[in-house]
Amino acid sequence: MKKKPLILVSNDDGITSKGIRTLVNVMKQIGEVVVVAPDGPQSGMGHAITIGNTLRLTREDIFGDVVAYKSSGTPADCVKLAKHHVLKDRQPDLLVSGVNHGSNTSISVLYSGTMSAAIEGAIEGLPSVGFSLCDYGHDADFTHTEEYIKSIALEVLEKGMPKGVALNVNFPPKRNENIKGVKICRQARAKWQEEFDERFDPNGRRYFWMAGNFVNFDKGEDNDEWAIANNYVSIVPCMFDLTAHHAISQLNDEWDLQGL
């Protein structure tokens, strides 16, 4: 009898979020599931880790027969704790993160705790996928993501992943029309144009509230922003190497570093 795959589930919205429950329910159809997730929202934490404070890890009974822990740490902390403590004698066959409540396309992948958990999994040598739904509504419907999540997870388990690569999967919000399909994409060239609203608290002390708009500079049709706007599921292969490889030769050729 074939052994069930061991699947580690994490996220950045917290262990009680609607998205992680969707992910757990789908993964239970595929294999043995273990959850290690933050005890509260950790959106925008990126790849932060806890080095100056204690880390708490508490067993939770919120997914029925699924072994689950909540942690006081970041999404990256959760993956590290899962790999080296909770599952220290076992190697997960798959790590999945999400389903995030909101988009993680384009530049947002840099700030995303959801994708940082997935990329941490890739660093640890685990086939890893981060899932996000491009809908910020409090009543967002995740049901249309389930069949795609299952299919993508099964593909990864069967075919494997390139070493050090994690998949960034984004779903368009549920609309009247059906999703058109899946696109393997590149990350769109875009950014957040921040604005800071200056305010004062009741004691007259100044504080700032960050706001702003998302600006897409990319006019191509092979990127994740185009895919989502045109009702496709986008899949972007990501890795943790931030080296600007194309700039190395330019710096070597144009800079005079001999006298430094």
Q: Give residues with Cβ within 8 angstroms of 74, minimum separation 6.
A: 12, 38, 42, 45, 48, 49, 50, 113, 116
How confident is the model at residue 161, as a pLDDT? 93
The tokens describing 147, both together, are 């069949």
Task: Write down the pLDDT at residue 22.
Answer: 97
Residue 200: predicted pLDDT: 94
What are the extents of the domains in the chain? Answer: 6-188+219-254
**Position 23 pLDDT exceeds 70:** yes
Residue 160 zone, left/alpha/beta (φ > 0; ψ -120 to 50; rest): left
Q: What is the mean pLDDT of residues 140-157?
A: 96
Residue 1 has pLDDT above 70, yes or no: no
Per-residue pLDDT of 55-75, as tens digits, reads: 999 999 999 999 999 999 999
The predicted-structure confidence for 119-134, as pLDDT tens digits, reads as follows 999 999 999 999 999 9
Using alpha carbons, select from 186, 158, 157, 193 the residue that is nearest to residue 170.
Answer: 186
Q: Between 2.60.40.10, 3.40.50.970, 3.40.1210.10, 3.90.550.10, what CATH number should domain 6-188+219-254 receive?
A: 3.40.1210.10
Tell me if the pTM is above 0.85: yes
Phi, psi of 114 (to 5 degrees): -60, -50
The pLDDT value given to residue 2: 73
Are 107 and 32 in contact, with CB atoms under 8 Å apart?
no
Determine contact, residues 156/167, Cβ cutoff 8 Å: yes
